[in-house]
Amino acid sequence: MHTLHIAGSDERLPVGKMLCLGKNYEKHAKEMGGDVPADPVIFMKPATALVYDGGQVLIPAISNDLHHEVELVVVIGSTARDVAEAEAMNHVLGYAVGLDMTLRDLQSAAKKRGEPWAAAKGFDTSAPISTVVPAERVPDPAALELRLEVGGEVRQHGFTRDMILGIPATIAYLSRIFTLERGDCIFTGTPEGVGPVHPGDALHATIPGMAELRVSVARR
């Protein structure tokens, strides 16, 4: 069973589907060589992608180019189907810092061929997630800072206020396509500064004052 840890609780919350937004920060959309998409880019990760704080991200043999993407993760607490933006935040259980680990070589090849990103984005260990901080302890999730250090060097630094589709709009949008359920996770996109990591690297993702996550990288 793949479960999330909630700060201050003994509950082990089974993780459901992980829905992820692509290109939800303008500067990241540009660094990927494209414009901001007219509609949100959505992809998924399976529960087997989950990695805890202190765990390892394993590069499968089919790839030679693993990239980091630090993101705010929204964890759903109650069923949301066709919800309005004004109600959306009532369905949030909490927040975490996560890493949308990406096999960039596979993703680039898939983009060229018009194929899905399932392997590039959903491989085992592609979704490290910190302990979940209950929503009542996060007064303004649109005012968080995202940082990622690799080997002590800052690689990504951004702010959730720069998200193109904000959290209420994201939940409302996704709920018109997917029924959102308790334990589902939403990766809300990464700010600019994505780049490669290698076996032996130590990643430290933080939302200062809220959450942190440490993982290392190895070959599978």
Residue 170 or 190 having the CB closest to Mg ion? 190
Q: Of 48-56, 66-74, 156-164, 175-183, which part binds Mg ion (CB under 5 A)? A: 66-74
Q: Output the smallest distance, CB 189 to Mg ion, in A.
A: 6
Q: What distance in Å separates the CA atoms of residue 39 and residue 173, rounded to the nearest whole number? A: 10
Place of tokens 């998924």: 44
Tell me the residue nearest to Mg ion as measured from the CB: 100
Residue 99 or 210 having the CB closest to Mg ion? 99
What is the edge-to-edge ordering of all strands in the sheet holding 145-150?
56-59, 211-219, 202-207, 145-150, 153-159
Of 23, 29, 45, 69, the residue at the interface with Mg ion (CB under 5 A) is: 69
Residue 41 or 89 having the CB closest to Mg ion? 41
Q: What distance in Å separates the CA atoms of residue 21 and residue 85, rounded to the nearest whole number? A: 17
Tell me how long the chain is.
220
Residue 24 or 131 having the CB closest to Mg ion? 24
Q: What mask, x for binding Mg ion by CB under 5 A, covers residues 81 to 100?
A: -------------------x
Q: What distance in Å separates the CA atoms of residue 30 and residue 192, rounded to the nearest whole number? A: 9
190 is a site residue for Mg ion (CB under 5 A): yes
Candidates 158, 6, 161; CA nearest to 70 is 158
Residues that bind Mg ion (CB under 5 A): 69, 100, 190
